[in-house]
A and B are shown apart, each in its own frame.
Chain A
Amino acid sequence: MKYLTFTFVIIILLSVSPAVFAVELDPTLVQAMETSGFSAEQVQQVENMVGAAQQQGLPTGAVVGKVYEGIAKQVDPDRIVQALERVSSRYQYGYQLASTLSKKTRERFRLGNTITAGMAAGLTRQDAEELVGELEARAARMKQNDFYRLAEKTMLTARDFCRRGTSSEATADLVGKAVRKDFSAKDMEAMRNSFGQYGAHRSRESLVKEYGAAMDQGLKGKDLEGHDRGAGHGGEPGGSNESGAGGNADAGDSGSGNDSGNDGGGAGDSDRGHGGDSGGSGRGGGRH
C-alpha cells in the first residue's frame, strides 16, 4: 500500500512539474542560446516552454522563432524567456477561442493562428472574445461551412485592421457591427480589401467611422467603398501599380515562421515607407 501511495505521489509530482514538458531542442538553437549568454537554467526553461507548446498542440515554431529573434536583437536572455511566456500565453488563448468556433482540427488551427496574430497586432483579449461572441450568435443561423468561412474572414479582417494601426476597440466595434449586420464571408473580405487599399492613404480612424456609417445605412461589402469615395474626404489611393489584385495573405502570426498553416491570397497591400518616391514600379507585385 505504501509503495502504491509513493508511486502515486511521484506521478502527481511529475505531472505538475514543468520538466515533464522538456523536449530535446535543436542543437543549433542550444548553441545559439549558449553563445548569447543563456544560463543552463534558462536553456532548460526554453526547453520546457517548447515542450509545453508541443504538448498543448500549439505551434512550437512560434516559441523557437522568438528565441532566435531575441538573439538577433541582442535582447537579454531573461527578457527573451519572458517574451516566450507572452507568446505561449497568446497562442493558448487564441487557440482556446478558436475551439469555440470550430471543432475541426484544421479549422481550429487556422483560426487559432489568425486570432493569435490579431492579438500580436494589438487586438485585446477582451475584444477578441467580443468578436467571437458576435460570431457565435450567428452560428445557429448558418450552415457550418458558411459559418467557418465567416469566422475566418472576420478574424482576418480584425487582424489586418490592427496590423494597420487601428485601435483594438475601434476594430472590434466595426468588425463586430459587420457580423451583427449579417455580413457574409464575401462582404467581410471586401471590407478587408477595401481597408487595405484605402487605409494605406487615409486616416484609418476616419475610414473606420465612414464604414460604420455606411453599415448603418444598410451597405455591405464592396458598397462600403462607394460610400467612402462619396464622403468627400479626398485622398484616394494614387498610383494603382503599387497594389496587385485580390486580397491579403491569410497567414497567422508571422513570427512563428512556418507554423501559420494558412493559405496566401493574392497581392494587394501597399506598405511604402515615408519619404519614398511615389511612382510605382509597374512590376507584378505589391509593395509593402
Chain B
Amino acid sequence: MMKSVWLALLLSTILSGCASSHFVERNQDTVLFSIRLPDAERVQLASSTDNFALHDIIKTESGDWQATVGSVQELAYFYVVDGSVYLPDCQLKETDDFGSENCLFQP
C-alpha cells in the first residue's frame, strides 16, 4: 500500500515536472510570455503586434523560455518549437482560418 502511494507521488512529480507550463503576464508597459518546454532546442514567438514576425526567445536558467513584448494591446500569438507551430493551452482562442487556432492575449 505504502509502496504504491510513493510510486504515485513519484510519478505525479515527474509528470508535473515534464508538463509544459505556459503563461502570459502583463506588466506595466510590457507583456511577458513564458513557456516551459524542457526538450525544445529552439523556441520562437509570433504575434499580431508585428505581423507575426518570428522572434527567437531565450531559455532562462530555470528552463523556461521567455520573451517580453513591448505592447500591452490585444494580440494573437503562437509559438514555433523546433520548426513546428505550437499552440499552448490558453483560455482565449480564435480560429486562424488555416484549420487551427491562435491564442489571444487581452490586456
Contact = CB atoms under 8 A, between A and B. Distances in A.
B57 interface: no
A285 interface: yes
A276 B51 contact: no
B46 interface: yes
A273 B23 contact: yes
Interface of A is mostly: loop
Contacts of B93: 121, 163, 165
Nearest to A251: B74
B51 to A, nearest CB: 4
Interface centre among B51, B80, B105 (most CB of A within 10 A): B51
Chain A interface size band reads 35 or more
Given A164-B92, A256-B48, A264-B72, A87 B97 contact: yes
A50 B95 CA distance: 20
A275 B46 contact: no
Given A65-B48, A68-B51, A72-B46, A273 B90 contact: yes
A283 interface: yes
B62 to A, nearest CB: 11
B77 to A, nearest CB: 9
Nearest to B54: A72
A79 interface: yes
Nearest to A66: B97
Interface in B63-81: 72-76, 78, 80
Nearest to B47: A254
A252 to B, nearest CB: 8
A275 B20 contact: yes
Given A249-B107, A287-B23, A164 B91 contact: yes
A25 interface: no
A272 interface: yes
Interface string A251-288: 10111110010001101011111111100010111111
Contacts of B26: 244, 267, 284-288
27 contacts: A68-B51, A68-B52, A69-B76, A69-B102, A72-B54, A72-B80, A73-B78, A73-B98, A73-B100, A120-B97, A121-B95, A160-B106, A164-B92, A249-B74, A254-B102, A255-B94, A270-B91, A271-B23, A271-B91, A274-B19, A276-B21, A277-B21, A283-B27, A284-B27, A285-B28, A288-B26, A288-B104
Interface of B: 16, 19-28, 31, 35-36, 46, 48-49, 51-54, 72-76, 78, 80, 85, 88-98, 100, 102-107
Given A73-B78, A160-B106, A285-B28, 19 more contacts: A64-B51, A68-B52, A69-B46, A199-B91, A200-B91, A251-B106, A254-B102, A260-B74, A269-B91, A271-B92, A271-B103, A272-B91, A273-B20, A273-B23, A275-B21, A285-B25, A285-B27, A288-B25, A288-B90
Counting from the closest, the 10 A-B pairs by CB-CB distance are A285-B26, A275-B19, A273-B22, A276-B21, A251-B74, A288-B24, A83-B97, A68-B51, A72-B52, A254-B76
